[in-house]
Amino acid sequence: MRRTDGDQTHLYFGSAILPARTNKDGKPAMGRIFVLLMGFHRLYARALLYFAKRALH
């Protein structure tokens, strides 16, 4: 999403992930590989945003 405010542009990033499986109790659950990779995803996403912001300034 992009919002322009005068001479500034604000960019908004995000993602949504919904489970496709359920656990033994019938509640939504993510797989083990997903849980293991989530930490890497968070670190990678923050690094991308950091370098994008740095390139703008």
Check: CB of residue 44 under 8 Å from CB of residue 52.
Answer: no
The pLDDT of residue 11 is 76
**pLDDT tens for the chain, residues 1 to 57:** 667 788 888 777 777 777 888 888 888 888 888 888 888 988 998 999 899 889 887
Residues 6 or more apart whose CB falls under 8 angstroms from that of 13 comprise: 45, 49
Residue 6 CA neighbour count, 13 Å, CB half: 0
Domain spans in the chain, listed from the N-terminal domain onward: 2-56
